[in-house]
Structure 1
Amino acid sequence: MSNHFSAGDHEHPFQFPGGDARLDITDLFVFTAPDDRDRTVLIMNSNPFLEGTGFHPDAIYRFNIDNDGDSLADAAFSFTFSELKDGRQTATAHYATGGEAQSREPLGAVLIQGTPVGFNQMTAPVEASACRLFVGIRSDPFFADADNVLEWLIKGAHGLFDWKGKDTFGEGNVNSIALEVPNDM
């Protein structure tokens, strides 16, 4: 997994990891749960503009947590996905600690298995093992007035940028993994 800035080379600086947008991490958010200070929310978005369909079935999407500053994972939340079949896909969430957290494989306890990926706005999160999980499509949080940014850059990026209020990416969606866990996990 990578993002669109680290996957390229000097000849093709902006390309998707492995040529597959489903492997492109667009956003990562970590914050205290708004309704419970003893819980943390982790969100990973991928697949800008939904160039592919669903999550990549051969990828492992992972949050590595380093609790002691040694740059090694002390805990890991890993997510794997089934093949997309007949417009349906499922996800499995794993939780590993210690040495298992440093494995490239999705080791540890299975927190949630076979939860459906939400391909519409009506899908609700699943709750199990003291966790709350949503996997599916959500509106891309990135916004920009691309036409006016381009115009501003062509003019030499001098002066104030004139925001016209048009979000070029407003109709875009991403694949989202949103996990809420107790802080002591």
Structure 2
Amino acid sequence: MKKSKILIGAAVLTIAGFFAIAADHIDAPAVAGGTSDITDIYAFQSQENNNNIVFVANVQGLISPADTDAAAFDENVLVEFNIDNDGDAVADLVIQATPRDGKMYFFGPIAPSQSGLNSTILSSTAIMNTVDITSYSASTIVESNNGMNFFAGPRDDPFFMDFFRYGDILTPDNGISSFNDPGTDSFAGTNVMSIVVELPKAMVGSGDSVNIWVESKRKQ
């Protein structure tokens, strides 16, 4: 068994419908510039199969195009999708993603072995799937198994934010109180390391909504 502990970053959202998003672009000083920083999490209904849901976790924001070919997932960082399907704010299922030697290994969805900041990689009990980690310029590599689809690799940052205008709005006494229409995408031209899991909705629960949060945990 391998253990990862120390919560590095987390983002939380509730799915009640077809699309949800939570974002956090390096505004936590403890993780700024690190390989475990979570920039966004997304959850949405699959465009190709209405019975499927897609989870996305993006890490390592603001990667420049010049640095993208050298960007890589940190093999000491575990990314964990937590799924609460009964509304008690405790994870009932997890999907774990951990890189090793050019591949991303996925485990779950399965009940976690423990709650809290520490996690054990569930390799001995969970369904394991792997996908080659693609490069930005290469053809997209998607692995399908057990009704699930998987992707891992660098991608253009999909999050839109007029960050500098936001700063102007927060500055007191400058007379600026609203965003421009259209605004300027401060993240345009930057990339992220993306982890994507598509799976049947039935695998995450039978209720009308589920709570989703993502954690990145560093091996100690």
Q: TM-score band, normalised by the shorter chain?
A: 0.7 to 0.9
Contact kept? 1:63, 1:78, Cα under 8 Å: yes
Task: State the SS of the aligned residue for 2:104.
Answer: strand
Question: Which moved further from structure 2: 145-154 or 25-34?
Answer: 145-154
* 1:105 paired residue number: 120
Q: Higher strand fraction: Structure 1 or Structure 2?
A: 2
Contact kept? 1:95, 1:111, Cα under 8 Å: yes
Question: Which moved further from structure 2: 100-109 or 71-80?
Answer: 100-109
Q: Distance in 1 between matches of 2:169 and 2:33?
A: 31
TM-score by length of 1: 0.77
Q: Does 1:161 align with 2:179?
A: yes
Q: Judging changes above 3 Å, is the alpha-carbon distance between structure 1 residues 148 and 163 closer, same or farther for their aligned structure 2 residues?
A: farther
Look up the equivalent residue of 2:188 and give its one-letter code. Answer: G
Q: Distance in 1 between matches of 2:175 and 2:196?
A: 37
Q: Distance in 2 between matches of 1:157 and 1:117?
A: 47
Q: Distance in 2 between matches of 1:97 and 1:176?
A: 22
- Structure 1 unaligned segments of length 5 or more: list them: 84-88
* 1:53 paired residue number: 71
Q: Distance in 1 between matches of 2:126 and 2:37?
A: 26
Q: Judging changes above 3 Å, is the alpha-carbon distance between structure 1 residues 72 and 161 closer, same or farther for their aligned structure 2 residues?
A: closer
**Percent identity at matched positions?**
24
Match 2:29 to one of 2, 15, 29: 15
Q: CA deviation at 1:3?
A: 5.4
TM-score by length of 2: 0.66
Greater RCO, CA 8 A, separation 6+: 2
For this pair of structures, how many residues does the alignment match? Answer: 173
* 1:129 paired residue number: 146
- Structure 2 unaligned segments of length 5 or more: list them: 1-7, 12-22, 65-69, 204-220
Once the two structures are superposed, the pairs formed by residues 1-185 of structure 1 within 5 Å of their partners are: 1-2=8-9, 14-17=28-31, 20-50=33-63, 53-82=71-100, 89-100=102-113, 102=115, 104-107=119-122, 108-113=125-130, 115-121=131-137, 122-150=139-167, 156-163=174-181, 166-185=184-203
